[in-house]
Amino acid sequence: MQDLIASSLKYQNNTLSVLDQYLLPHQQVWHVCDDVASMRELILNLKIRGAPLIGLGASLLVAHLAEQGMAKAALAQAIDDLEATRPTAVNLMHCMAKLRIALQQDDYVMAIVSAAVSLFNEDIALCESMAKHGAALVNSGDNILTHCNTGALATAGIGTALGVIYKAQQRHGDIHVWVDETRPLLQGGRLTAFELERWQVPYTLICDNMAASLMAAGKVDKIFVGADRIAANGDFANKVGTYNLAVLAHFHNIPFYVVAPLTTLDVSTACGADIEIEQRNSAEVRGVSGSFGEALWAPTNAQVYNPAFDVTPAKLITGWVLDTGVYDQQQVLAGKLKDLN
Ligand SMILES: CSC[C@H]1O[C@H](OP(=O)(O)O)[C@H](O)[C@@H]1O
């Protein structure tokens, strides 16, 4: 398989490597990955994360295993096991479905490698398209709020929502970004801040509970977020805390945009209530340190609720920025997204 290089995923000299996003920004550690168990561990612990990227990482691993001579039945099992790793982001299921089709071909090794390479290169192009459409919505001097991390670290290209912000800054040169730290795993404070510094985009880091007062003070002009799964009616699942922002934006009449590739649309899921929300372990909320895993701040036995995502209804969304264009609420509530699939 040809060399493929992205910000946090690379296939070089027949070796698949993943940049450990859990350790960023203070440590940059690349892990070589050559088996299903290690890819599952990397995905489960958000060392590789981001809806598009986990699908691409899993796909490149399957292609690598196919080239290494893994038997057809074992490849089918690998696809099943990888697909089962995290339930909410549909990109993983989309990629694994493509590989299952490739596995049925006579020359399934070539077909799987070709599919994995196409998925990777397509993602780069999808990011550019989303960024172009989304940047057209940004005005000079805008203060944009974003949540979690949706940049190059989470994709093979420049990102989804953060790709829009990057392209808008290239166009205007004078935007500012409010960065939600995004509890509990701090993808915003750790990863989005890291990327915006790299891109020299001015930003201010905030705690998630500060967004409301900034909106009340008129300091937020637009909100752009990513998505893990968009239902047929336009509802979408995204990092927990997104729904908070949508309700606040609606109250304060602030444009709220979701940015995702069309492949994040899952027309087989009718509405947001049908999206499975991944429940994660309590240690992430309690905070764990030290070799004994003692809680950093909450009592060790605290009861914890830790959904990784929440669902935002279509009625709170101003626009859906896809690689195919921007769709407003009237179009989506009239069923436009189903026509796109
Ligand atoms: C372009 S990434 C989309 C999506 O994935 C992130 O979730 P996680 O960090 O748990 O992988 C987050 O919800 C982003 O908006």
pTM of the model: 0.96
Residue 86 marked as a ligand binder: yes
Residues of 262-282 as b/e, b for ≥16 C-beta within 10 angstroms? bbbbbeebeebeebebbebeb
Q: In tens digits, what is the pLDDT along the chain, a chain of 341 residues?
A: 999 999 999 999 999 999 999 999 999 999 999 999 999 999 999 999 999 999 999 999 999 999 999 999 999 999 999 999 999 999 999 999 999 999 999 999 999 999 999 999 999 999 999 999 999 999 999 999 999 999 999 999 999 999 999 999 999 999 999 999 999 999 999 999 999 999 999 999 999 999 999 999 999 999 999 999 999 999 999 999 999 999 999 999 999 999 999 999 999 999 999 999 999 998 899 876 544 556 677 787 889 999 999 999 999 999 999 999 999 999 999 999 999 97
Q: Tell me which residue has its CA closest to atom 7 in ligand 1.
A: 50
Q: Are 23 and 16 in contact (CB under 8 A)?
A: no
Tell me, in angstroms, the distance from the centre of ligand 1 to residue 20's CA: 15
Closest CA to 159 of 11, 301, 49, 14: 49
**β-bridge pairing 15-19 and 9-12:** antiparallel
Task: Return the best residue to mutate from 42, 124, 148, 160 for the ligand 1 pocket (most ligand atoms within 8 A of CB).
Answer: 148
**CA–CA gap between residue 206 and residue 16 (Å, rounded):** 35
Q: Is 238 annotated among the ligand-binding residues?
A: yes
Angle, helices 51-67 vs 90-103, to 10°: value is: 20
Collapsed DSSP state (helix, strand, coil) of residue 177: strand
**Atom 12 of ligand 1 has which residue's CA nearest to it?**
239
Active site residue 142: no
CA–CA gap between residue 221 and residue 35 (Å, rounded): 45
The region, left, alpha or beta by phi > 0 then psi within -120 to 50, assigned to residue 77 is: alpha
Rounded distance between C-alpha atoms, residue 259 and residue 232, angstroms: 15
Which DSSP symbol is given to 264?
G
CB count in 10 Å sphere of residue 78? 23
φ/ψ of residue 68, rounded to 5: -80, 0
Q: Which of 228, 235, 266, 310 is catalytic?
A: 228
Distance CA(88)–CA(180), nearest Å, equals: 21
Phi (first) and psi of residue 4, to 5 degrees: -135, 125
Report residue 303 CA to chain centroid gap: 28
How far does the centroid of ligand 1 lie from the alpha carbon of residue 164, in Å? 15
Provide the sign of the torsion angle of the four alpha carbons 49, 21, 29, 176, taken in this order.
Answer: positive
Q: How far apart are CA 79 and CA 61, in angstroms?
A: 10
